[in-house]
Chains A and B, each alone.
Chain A
Amino acid sequence: MSDTHANTPLIELQGVTKVYGRGAAAMQALRGVDLRIDAGEFVAVMGPSGSGKSTCLNILGCLDTPTAGTYRFGGVEVGGLSRNQRAELRRHYLGFVFQGFNLLNRTTALENVELPLLYRGIHLAERHRLAREALTAVGLAEWATHTPGELSGGQQQRVAIARAIVTAPDVLFADEPTGNLDSARSREIMELLTRFNRERGLTIVMVTHEADMAAFASRSVRFVDGRVAADTRSTEAA
């Protein structure tokens, strides 16, 4: 593998381990993970409960740091960054979608979408414009003034996606994004993500345990017992 800039992968894990707790109670969640994800990929991370896929996503999303091994994001060693530096990284390059939607209650869809822009210090008028654009992109332009309580689960997840993409991040991390939705809504969400991946070249890393959903991705990484057990590229999606 050459080390030239053009070939620097967006995401690169090398021998990453993660241990929770100490001594006899120590729990090894990751046991040496090597993973490389390039810009523009749509990766589904699969595996049974406790296989380490969520831990891995937390590390990839810079919410957590590896116990050992290296994680480079765009060539930057994340393990050496402070909490605040990782927050800056998330703010500028990463978007998140969660299983439980995690929108702010009692706050309108538009304001939810504006939230990451607020932390980027973008002016009110520009915030409104970008947030409306993002809501339009997920098909919720008419629901801008509604609060999460007034929206269906599928709509809430679409607001969450709008919030994740409003900053035009490099990577979107999705943790079981369809876990709380019925199959029709799940399909809508996956189609939306696929569209963003294809049209905007948005890199997506999605944890799921549903094979149906993983089928939308161009690549499937399977975790078992804290290790990557399989890494397959789908010819159909690619």
Chain B
Amino acid sequence: MVWNALLLALREIRRNVLRSCLTILGIVIGVAAVIVMVTLGGGDTAQVTAKIASLGTNLLMVRPGQRMGFGQMSTAAQFDLADAEAVEREIRSVLAISPASTAPTTAVFGNRNWSTSVTGIDNRYFGVRNWTLASGREFTDSELRAGSSVCIVGATVRKELFGAQDPLDNKLRLEKLSCTVIGLLQAKGQSTMGSDQDDLVLMPLRAFQRRIAGNQDIGLIQVSVRDGASTEQVKQDIEDLLRTRRHIAPSEDDDFQVLDMKEITQMLAGTTQVLTALLGAVAAVSLLVGGIGIMNIMLVSVTERTREIGIRLAIGALEREVLMQFLVEAVVLASFGGLTGIVLALAASVVLADLMSIPFVFNPGIVVLAFLFSAIVGVVFGFFPARTAARLDPIEALRHE
């Protein structure tokens, strides 16, 4: 019975191709919207997660100043090396720290120059940031102690200044300081915030402090926490320690900031979730409207085919057989809409993911769900017209013109 109803439905839909296509448009758009949004959302989340993992989820960043609003930092005293050492020494569960200080600079090589930033570090930086060299070597102890004029460049700086040329052992100029390139960092790409992580020059912290900054300040202490330890606890400990060291009265706010990568992850994930929920609501409305469209057309179809229904009933079709025929037709229509939506959505997702340079993450769950949902829309909105058809009086229906 269902098989016959299916054949009948397909034939009926083929007879009204244009009308059927227009009818299912709402469902197509609804389903496509849901899948595109979930697929792109999934790709974005995967990318963010991967980037944060590359940064290390057990990483804390300690900066002087407080965030005042969008991009604004209040000015406050910088840290010094002793603060960094104290964090490492006095707080349990700290695996490693990396003191660093950064300044904007212009790097010059030959007749090329490039606006970038220079960061003074020591070798702990590579471990804490989970970063390796593509070629060359890290700083030697004597270079670090002496503050030698040597540097390691990021992939972007290398590309802009050296082009295809090997940067190792060449001298580049930072402001008035000439320093020898001893290493090249592995490319990392964009950060989660969209900035280019490879656009930097690294040099020994002491060299930076003496020759570039002219002070002993530390602008950033990166702290990696031992696996299994609570980053919240470490964060709290760092805050307590630094408040003491910086003589902040209990009534005053912190004049520094401890950023937790987990928080950043959650914050980003939260944004995606809000967006997902919002678009999901839009999709739901679209499916509802699509369902009403199907109901409308099915009612028209029942009226148009009243005579046919009369014939079927007179010949001996049972109510449920007529009901089934129209219900199956509505479900087939809606499912076609669902399938079309799925195909369109996957095609669009591949293209959009490429344009937005995020990975295409196929989510079979949502595809199945969207298809089932479209079929359910067919059942729900097809039921009323189908019941109307099934309950027709055969005598009246046969008289219908």
Q: Is the CB of A87 within 8 A of B316?
A: yes
Find residues 53-101 in chain A having any chain B CB closer than 8 Å to their own CB.
58, 61, 63-64, 83-84, 87-92, 94, 96, 98
Chain B residues near A119 (CB, 8 Å)? 312, 315-318, 321
Among A87, A98, A104, which residue has its beta carbon within 8 angstroms of that of B313? A87
B319 in the interface (beta carbon within 8 A): yes
Q: Mark B372-401, 1 if CB is under 8 A from A, else 0.
A: 000000000000000000000011001000
Apart from A84-B319, A119-B316, 9 more pairs, CB < 8 Å: A87-B317, A87-B319, A90-B316, A91-B317, A92-B316, A115-B311, A119-B312, A119-B321, A120-B316
Cα A90 to Cα B1 with chains together (Å)? 18
B26 in the interface (beta carbon within 8 A): no
Find residues 306-330 in chain B having any chain A CB closer than 8 Å to their own CB.
307-308, 310-321
Total interface residues in chain A, CB < 8 Å: 26
Cα A83 to Cα B318 with chains together (Å)? 8
* Minimal beta-carbon separation of B174 from chain A (angstroms): 83
* Minimal beta-carbon separation of A50 from chain B (angstroms): 15
A14 in the interface (beta carbon within 8 A): no
Chain A residues near B312 (CB, 8 Å)? 115, 119
Chain A residues near B310 (CB, 8 Å)? 102
* Minimal beta-carbon separation of B11 from chain A (angstroms): 8
Total interface residues in chain B, CB < 8 Å: 20
* Minimal beta-carbon separation of A169 from chain B (angstroms): 10
Contact surface of A with B, Cβ cutoff 8 Å: 58, 61, 63-64, 83-84, 87-92, 94, 96, 98, 102-104, 106, 115-116, 118-121, 163
Chain A residues near B176 (CB, 8 Å)? none
Cα A90 to Cα B320 with chains together (Å)? 16
Chain B residues near A106 (CB, 8 Å)? 15
Q: Is the CB of A91 within 8 A of B308?
A: no
Q: Is the CB of A104 within 8 A of B308?
A: yes
* Known contacts A63-B395, A64-B395, A98-B398; is-contact A104 B319 (Cβ 8 Å): no
Chain B residues near A61 (CB, 8 Å)? 314
B4 in the interface (beta carbon within 8 A): yes
Chain B residues near A64 (CB, 8 Å)? 395
Cα A183 to Cα B317 with chains together (Å)? 34
* Minimal beta-carbon separation of B324 from chain A (angstroms): 12
Cα A88 to Cα B321 with chains together (Å)? 12
